[in-house]
Copies of this chain bind each other. A is one copy, B any other.
Amino acid sequence: MVKSMRTTIKDIADYCKVSVGTVDRALNNRPGISKETKEKVLQSIETLNYHRNHTGRSLAMGKTKTIGVVCFDLYNNFFPELIDTIEARAKERGYFIYLILTHKAPRLEKDGLSYLCERQVDGIILFPIGVSREYIASLRQLGIPIVTIYNRLTADFPFVDVNGKKAMEDAVAYIASKGYRRICYMTPEIEAQESEGLNTYTLRQREAGYLSGIQQAGLERAEVYEKGSAEEKTEQFVKSYVPQERTALLCLCDSYALRVMRALSDHGIRVPEQVGVMGFDNIASMDYMKPRMTTIAYSVKEMGCTAIDMLFQCMEDPEYRRECLLDYRIVEGGTLL
């Protein structure tokens, strides 16, 4: 209960010899105040250097005009753009962003969400890393509108992501159309993550897309490299590499593809001459690589806007539900022949 020396509406009221109610009416353009007094009050907010106290306001109104964004980290180049659009759009409507990074640690996510609840945020945009029944129950218990993104939970939670399954299907078809007969898939460890209780929804979707793509293309066999690091997987792949068979590696995402390509190069295998590579995301730094990555692009802006708009809808109507799978396009690059 530290008495701060900032000007309050009480100070203004005293100064103008009116009541705090009147000051409030002036400050918030409420009806029921004469032009003159309003003028007088507005004048004195300048001279007294008044800044309104959002904490008091939040307490009285029961909302904070704040939304929490809980995401893994900022390293995958697509987070920055996403947060950028979310921040801008939220700001337009008077909302602020609490940024919480989980680094895919369930503990950090759990704590973060609980703190957001304490802080009475009006809504949350969440990249979920949990998946268990109790976890989902705890999310509901928060009693805060939540929009999920990247990893889906249940139909209760509005969800937005690029259509990764279909995109991967198309990617396989595209690679096959170039004459590649052996198409392998490179993904971070899925099973290991699942056994740690992590949410692998998107990983699974994309893998499923790859598998069904292989089938639809009528290719002989699906080959998923899943165990170990990108470097270990690459080494494993290299062992089975046969020059006679036109081979391509489809990767979960661009940054993963970059690691794979570096590893290939360490093994003396040239891209695209010996092995084709395709990524996913079309991250910005691709612009400076030669050859340019063949990849799948989508609008991160659209994704961010959709997420925040859905959240605003939820906040108005708690019954609002929607799942939104965004479109994408294949970017032809130089990593496939």
Chain-B contact segment, one of A17-25, A82-90, A204-212: A82-90
Question: Which residues 54-90 of A sit at the B interface, judged by CB distance below 8 A?
Answer: 54-56, 58-64, 73-75, 77, 79-81, 83-84, 87-88
Tell me how far the C-beta of A95 lies from the nearest C-beta in chain B, rounded to whole angstroms: 10
Q: Is A73 within 8 A of B80, CB to CB?
A: yes
Chain-B contact segment, one of A28-36, A110-118, A158-166, A233-241: A110-118
Q: Is A55 within 8 A of B64, CB to CB?
A: yes
* Interface-centre pick from A55, A117, A143, A289 (highest chain B CB count, 10 A): A55
**Of B51, B118, B143, which is within 8 A of A118 by CB?**
B51
Residues of B within 8 A of A100 (CB): 87, 91, 96-97
Q: Is A98 within 8 A of B101, CB to CB?
A: no
Question: Which residues 1-33 of A sit at the B interface, judged by CB distance below 8 A?
Answer: 1-4, 6
What is the CA–CA distance of A15 and B185 in the complex, to the nearest angstrom?
58
Q: Is A84 within 8 A of B88, CB to CB?
A: no
Q: Is A2 within 8 A of B262, CB to CB?
A: no
What is the CA–CA distance of A58 and B54 in the complex, to the nearest angstrom?
11
What is the CA–CA distance of A143 and B7 in the complex, to the nearest angstrom?
12
The chain B residue with its CB closest to the CB of A1 is: B60
The chain B residue with its CB closest to the CB of A257 is: B288
**Of B52, B59, B73, B91, which is within 8 A of A84 by CB?**
B73
Tell me how far the C-beta of A143 lies from the nearest C-beta in chain B, rounded to whole angstroms: 7
Q: Is A120 within 8 A of B54, CB to CB?
A: yes
Residue A119 CB within 8 A of the other chain? yes
Tell me how far the C-beta of A294 lies from the nearest C-beta in chain B, rounded to whole angstroms: 15
Q: Is A61 within 8 A of B98, CB to CB?
A: no
Residue A49 CB within 8 A of the other chain? yes
Residues of B within 8 A of A80 (CB): 73-75, 79-80
What is the CA–CA distance of A261 and B289 in the complex, to the nearest angstrom?
11
Residue A285 CB within 8 A of the other chain? yes
Q: Is B96 within 8 A of A97, CB to CB?
A: no
A-B contact pairs, 28 of them (CB 8 A): A2-B61, A3-B62, A4-B62, A6-B143, A51-B117, A51-B118, A53-B118, A54-B115, A55-B55, A55-B58, A55-B119, A55-B120, A59-B59, A74-B74, A75-B80, A75-B284, A79-B80, A80-B80, A84-B101, A87-B101, A91-B100, A96-B98, A96-B119, A98-B99, A258-B288, A285-B285, A285-B288, A289-B289
